[in-house]
Amino acid sequence: MLERVRAPVTDGVWQERDRRDEQGDDVRNRAVWGVAGWGAGVLALLVGLPLAVAGRLPDPVATHWSGDSGAPDGSMGLWAAALFPAVVWVVVVAAVAFGIGRAPLRGWALGALGFGGVMLAGTQASIVRANLDAAEWRQAGAVNGWGVAVVVAVALLAGFGAAALGRRGGASR
The DSSP bridge partners found for residue 18 are 4
The DSSP bridge partners found for residue 6 are 16
SS3 call for 6: strand
pLDDT higher than threshold 80 for residue 170? no
111: left (phi > 0), else alpha (psi -120 to 50), else beta? alpha
Q: Any idea where the domains of the chain sit in the sequence? A: 33-171
* pLDDT above 70 coverage of the chain, percent: 74
Position 20 scores a pLDDT of 47
d(CA 155, CA 147): 12
d(CA 129, CA 61): 11
Rounded to two decimals, the pTM is 0.76
